[in-house]
Amino acid sequence: SWSYAIDLDKAISTDKFRCIKTQGHSAVFISWSYTEMFMTPNPRSTKSGKDQFMDLYRGLQTSGIDVNRIFVQVSSPRKWPENARENQAFLKDIIKAANQKHIKVGVYTNHYDWREIMDGAKIDIPYLWYWNTNGDGPQGETQKNFNDLVTFGKFEEISAKQFAKNVKVCGVSVNR
């Protein structure tokens, strides 16, 4: 089964959370949440994937935040090198480092970005959070279901879909 969710990048009031719940959203992904984290790596950095993950991990541990799953953002092809093999090695480096810390790994991407960045690689990654929007705001929303999923990669489970970007729910700008 599935449910509607939003993702937030800042704190909101309890009243806003209540309002969001009345709008049919039963899950909220918070970028600073204690159980799941969204990682936006810098693949053009001189730091390896492992080093970038370890920087994130140490920062979370220092702050007393325990994470059991991260979603690595593999989108925006222009931000990634053109060499798909290097990109694959970089992502595998993150996955290996996360697994060594007993943290589950998922990827936030879509079929186009995955093809452009990873050349369609079949990397063992259990969780997929895919996105499909037609731009910002309500006019950019796509179907609120998984009917538009184009199969790609080697993902075991579809965890989430982002179908809207930068929309207002109860006065808060969110991605849905």
| CATH code assigned at 137 | 3.20.20.80
Enclosing domain of residue 14 = 4-174
The CA distance from 90 to 102, in Å, is 19
Query: What pTM did the predictor assign?
Result: 0.79
Instruction: Flag the least confident range among 37-51, 58-72, 100-114.
Output: 58-72
Helix 84-100 × helix 111-118 angle, to 10°: 110
Q: Mean of the pLDDT values across residues 19-40? A: 71
pLDDT tens for 61-94 read 888 878 889 999 999 999 999 999 999 999 999 9
Residue scoring higher pLDDT (143 or 8): 143
Q: Mean of the pLDDT values across residues 14-39? A: 72
The CA distance from 125 to 134, in Å, is 26
pLDDT above 90 (res 121):
yes
Number of domains in the chain: 1
* Strand 172-174 relative to strand 167-169, pairing: antiparallel
88: enclosing H helix or E strand: helix 84-100
Q: Mean of the pLDDT values across residues 84-107? A: 97
